Structure 1
């Protein structure tokens, strides 16, 4: 068969490939290889066909042969890089893409792919450079704009991210993911800047995303979150349920809906949706009373939740589980081991459960309310009560006596993950400094990750020195001792609220308007979960005057 015939067969194979006729591509490519076993074009065609069929190992071998036989063909190298990228062989994929750019540095797709891999490696500055270079080569490369905007968004560079997103929308205004991402940024800005305008604009963005794609679960869930921040709970619930109708396993919608239902006292539905918080099928957890499991004399390991506050909150359900006659082990954060070891209802506490043998059942701590069928506010167990060593109490008392006289007031103003639209919550610390300016007390800063400029500004507004105890957040035994000894604790919802309850004391908890409230914040001014804890809410006009007036009165401190 002549070279002309081989070329004709190859052209036909390419035409079949472009038309999606896989069997013809494979047949003709194999015929070519019988005549010309090292034909790089046929190997490449078979390789990319195998790739599209999900046969990644076969595709890798074929494309490596194509590259060996034609090492200067950038398209073959690029195809090999794509397969290696799909196999998560990042270093090899990067090496391959760099070889492509040595041959032809003007390939925008390759630069974009390198940006994706560098971002995955955490080399964010270099990733941005490659995304930008892809855009410089192809100013209409929407995917590069989208990924660059997303990376800038993750870094908190919101102004630049929105600028990049808007450039993408100029090319294609109908990308729901971009409208949704802008909505997320606006929600975060609404929290940070305490501005209703941002939340209102976020609602409009999420709604617009849904006009483009009505079957977009992330758009529905994030619209629900924005509506929830506006106080529109019924609208939020409708959005979450629509998201779950589109995708029954959509994690964020389950998680957000669980908070709303639990705060409304709808425990059965609330715990059901809470089960899906890690992307699990909520139906995999069945209450003990329905499953018929015999727990008596069983060895059970309970695994911790992600946050320290979540752990301290859910530990209250462990005594009820212990009452089934079980041997109970608990895997916790290393920072809590010594404290939790004082709880009498846990037989073994560790931060590494790999050495435990003969465990009959393993449950997540946050699943206990559903497993125990806690479906009514009357069934809420009391908070845990931990013991503090006399040494820690004496050490902290000595430090307090050195800084000034009582009453001692511990203060914190933000919590959660900064720039996260679900967990982040903050109060302007300047408002708190003004609140205590004319009150006789010694102010202790308990805020984690506090910066020196905040301490200085707080002291200047307060008109006297504040005392920084932020380092105690790294030593929870000392923090527990401090929380037991101070007279008042004024804070946003955070781990230390749960810790102070565990030492038998209550907190004054500030709830900013655009906060997604925690499970236990279920009443307007109090909590069914933490008796004695008082809630102070920012009003719809973003003012604190009324709540701060109540707080001053409730603290019963002496004016200066």
Structure 2
């Protein structure tokens, strides 16, 4: 058979494929190979047919034969890499992509493929370089734009990721995976309405994509539409019965509705069906176990948070402490994100200080002077955090080198070693010490408010959002509490835009509230602690303010959803004797808590300390 005839037959076979006549195309390819078994184009096309049919092993054999007989075709090596990657052999896939680029450094599909593979392998700078080159060569290539967005997201630049994905959707609005990736990024930014619109487009284009149904479920969880969320998670599982994210979603839906046993069942399935990357599901299951009271397993599984993509990159830190004896050893306690968490976990700093020869404590800059006063036997230093929200970096080159600090542990991991059982929660007195001068100053200021209980309060977290609002209140829901006559209500609210919420209240309610305008409740922790230490009572959601009250042993009444993992399966807050629990189910209104709080207030004699 002449070369021209083989090319003509290949063209005819491809036409049959385009028309859906697979068997006729296969017959022609077999005819070609019967005469010329080494004809590379026919071997290649048959390999890709096998790949499309899901026969990965057969596809690899055919494509390897192809590249053996025709080693100078970059597209052959690129397609071999694609199939090898699908088989899970990432090293061989990368080698094939690099061979393709050696033959043609401007081959856009190979640049995109190696870029996306390098993302998967965690080599983000190299991925960005390859994908940026692909976009320079083909600025309208939607796959390159989408992959570049994923690389930027992995690098912590989520805004650049969003811009690239929006451009990809504009270039190729009929590509379902682009809308799915865009939905994911909107979810990362907690832009739930935008995410909902993007995932709907993904489903219109590809109704059988389980990832889109699962994402739709998570969106509905954030809107509190749990029935629909369960329905969408189950729809994803009909399409793919071993899809771990949907099992995780079902776990979250059940947890939020206080169905702990169901939550634990589904989180176990999520982990079981994600053996290569179970860390997110393990970290979520840890909270469920803690809420159930399974502390040893819960604290241990909570370590999975340290392996998440957005976990802190600790550079230059000492080896990690794993619970071995600390006699004659120095210990560094590293900061984690969230000032409320730092205050909470600081409840066992004294245990660590008393065990180690020397203890270094790293913390949020707002807590340094407070911690220095509270833990005088430790060396306290502010954290050096750079990077971004999705890729935070903490460096430890400031640590002494002679002698070096022996070991280190994250703040959030201390409870694993010092609070493995309920019997280990022995805090009966305050463990944080306010500044005496500031304490006296604010005692005088608060006394000027007149007689009555001095009640500090906050109603939400620093950053309100659709999902967080399930856990927090609107200020308008407090009107019954503000009717209590024998009290001065002092705002401890932090964050932004809260003053507008107070201003929007009816004048009769607004005049009951005291706002100390010269007190920065967000960033001046010394002042916040000094004010809190002079209060008779704090009423707060489970937030930074509640842990401030607990750390000072000030009566603190916490309204919260059931379950609450910090209660560790109890009806109280272990280790925080001054804190009381006023829980509700997510389906109930906050009046469930506030009516009980109001009753407790009215039943309190004027001169009796609150408990």
TM range (shorter): 0.7 to 0.9
Q: After superposition, where does 1:549-560 map in structure 2 within 5 Å?
A: 549-556=595-602
Moved more, 52-61 or 495-504: 52-61
Q: CA deviation at 1:499?
A: 1.6
Give the aligned partner of residue 170 of structure 2.
Answer: 133
**Does residue 202 of the first structure (1) align with residue 220 of the second (2)?**
no
> What is the alpha-carbon distance in structure 2 between the residues aligned to residue 307 and residue 421 of structure 1?
17
2:295/2:568 contact within 8 Å kept:
no
**Does residue 336 of the first structure (1) align with residue 364 of the second (2)?**
no
**Does residue 15 of the first structure (1) align with residue 45 of the second (2)?**
yes
Q: After superposition, where does 1:372-383 map in structure 2 within 5 Å?
A: 372=418, 374-382=419-427
Moved more, 382-391 or 181-190: 382-391
Cα deviation 1:400-450 (Å, max 9, x = unaligned): 467777643322222376548589721122101443045354333322223
> What is the alpha-carbon distance in structure 2 between the residues aligned to residue 407 and residue 380 of structure 1?
30
2:542/2:559 contact within 8 Å kept:
yes
1:427/1:512 contact within 8 Å kept:
no
1:416/1:494 contact within 8 Å kept:
no
- Given the alignment, which residue of 114, 123, 132 partners 2:160? 123
1:94/1:117 contact within 8 Å kept:
no
Cα deviation 1:128-154 (Å, max 9, x = unaligned): 532332443xx2x21012112223333
Give the aligned partner of residue 268 of structure 2.
Answer: 241
Q: Provide the aligned C-alpha RMSD in A.
A: 3.7
- Given the alignment, which residue of 137, 143, 156 partners 1:99? 137
Cα deviation 1:232-252 (Å, max 9, x = unaligned): 111111112222333366233
> What is the alpha-carbon distance in structure 2 between the residues aligned to residue 390 and residue 453 of structure 1?
32
Give the aligned partner of residue 461 of structure 2.
Answer: 415
Give the aligned partner of residue 296 of structure 2.
Answer: 268
Give the aligned partner of residue 519 of structure 1.
Answer: 566
**Does residue 502 of the first structure (1) align with residue 551 of the second (2)?**
yes
The alignment's TM-score, normalised by the length of structure 2, stands at 0.74
Cα deviation 1:439-490 (Å, max 9, x = unaligned): 3543333222231431322354724264445732211111111111233211
**Does residue 66 of the first structure (1) align with residue 96 of the second (2)?**
no
- Secondary structure, in 3 states, of the residue corresponding to 1:481? helix
- Secondary structure, in 3 states, of the residue corresponding to 2:567? coil
Give the aligned partner of residue 65 of structure 2.
Answer: 24
Q: After superposition, where does 1:264-413 map in structure 2 within 5 Å?
A: 264-279=292-307, 288=323, 293-324=324-355, 326-344=357-375, 346-352=377-383, 353-354=396-397, 355-357=399-401, 358-372=404-418, 374-382=419-427, 385-397=431-443, 400=446, 407-413=453-459
- Given the alignment, which residue of 210, 220, 226 partners 1:176? 210
1:437/1:463 contact within 8 Å kept:
no
Moved more, 245-254 or 377-386: 245-254
> What is the alpha-carbon distance in structure 1 between the residues aligned to residue 472 and residue 592 of structure 2?
18
> What is the alpha-carbon distance in structure 1 between the residues aligned to residue 233 and residue 451 of structure 2?
52
Report how many residues are paired: 516
Give the aligned partner of residue 39 of structure 1.
Answer: none
Q: CA deviation at 1:189?
A: 1.2
- Secondary structure, in 3 states, of the residue corresponding to 2:223? helix
> What is the alpha-carbon distance in structure 2 between the residues aligned to residue 390 and residue 414 of structure 1?
29
- Secondary structure, in 3 states, of the residue corresponding to 1:204? helix
Give the aligned partner of residue 538 of structure 2.
Answer: 489
- Secondary structure, in 3 states, of the residue corresponding to 2:520? helix
Moved more, 52-61 or 152-161: 52-61
The alignment's TM-score, normalised by the length of structure 1, stands at 0.80
- Secondary structure, in 3 states, of the residue corresponding to 1:221? helix
Cα deviation 1:119-178 (Å, max 9, x = unaligned): 664236633532332443xx2x21012112223333444334323323322333332222
> What is the alpha-carbon distance in structure 2 between the residues aligned to residue 389 and residue 483 of structure 1?
12
> What is the alpha-carbon distance in structure 2 between the residues aligned to residue 115 and residue 327 of structure 1?
45
Give the aligned partner of residue 456 of structure 1.
Answer: 503
> What is the alpha-carbon distance in structure 1 between the residues aligned to residue 101 and residue 5 of structure 2?
23
Moved more, 119-128 or 482-491: 119-128
1:318/1:345 contact within 8 Å kept:
no
Give the aligned partner of residue 255 of structure 2.
Answer: 228
2:439/2:530 contact within 8 Å kept:
yes
1:115/1:131 contact within 8 Å kept:
no
- Secondary structure, in 3 states, of the residue corresponding to 1:519? helix
> What is the alpha-carbon distance in structure 1 between the residues aligned to residue 41 and residue 285 of structure 2?
56
Q: 1:471 to 1:322 in 2, by over 3 A?
A: closer
1:183/1:203 contact within 8 Å kept:
yes
Q: 1:268 to 1:394 in 2, by over 3 A?
A: same
Q: 1:454 to 1:219 in 2, by over 3 A?
A: same
Q: 1:255 to 1:67 in 2, by over 3 A?
A: closer
Q: After superposition, where does 1:209-220 map in structure 2 within 5 Å?
A: 209-220=236-247
Give the aligned partner of residue 38 of structure 1.
Answer: none
- Secondary structure, in 3 states, of the residue corresponding to 1:471? coil
Uncovered stretches (5+) of structure 2, i.e. residues with no partner: 11-38, 49-58, 85-89, 119-123, 309-318, 384-395, 607-611
Q: CA deviation at 1:492?
A: 0.5
> What is the alpha-carbon distance in structure 2 between the residues aligned to residue 177 and residue 460 of structure 1?
50
1:458/1:466 contact within 8 Å kept:
no
Q: CA deviation at 1:344?
A: 4.0
Give the aligned partner of residue 580 of structure 2.
Answer: 534
- Given the alignment, which residue of 147, 172, 176 partners 1:142? 176
1:237/1:260 contact within 8 Å kept:
yes
Q: 1:202 to 1:461 in 2, by over 3 A?
A: farther
Q: 1:433 to 1:346 in 2, by over 3 A?
A: farther
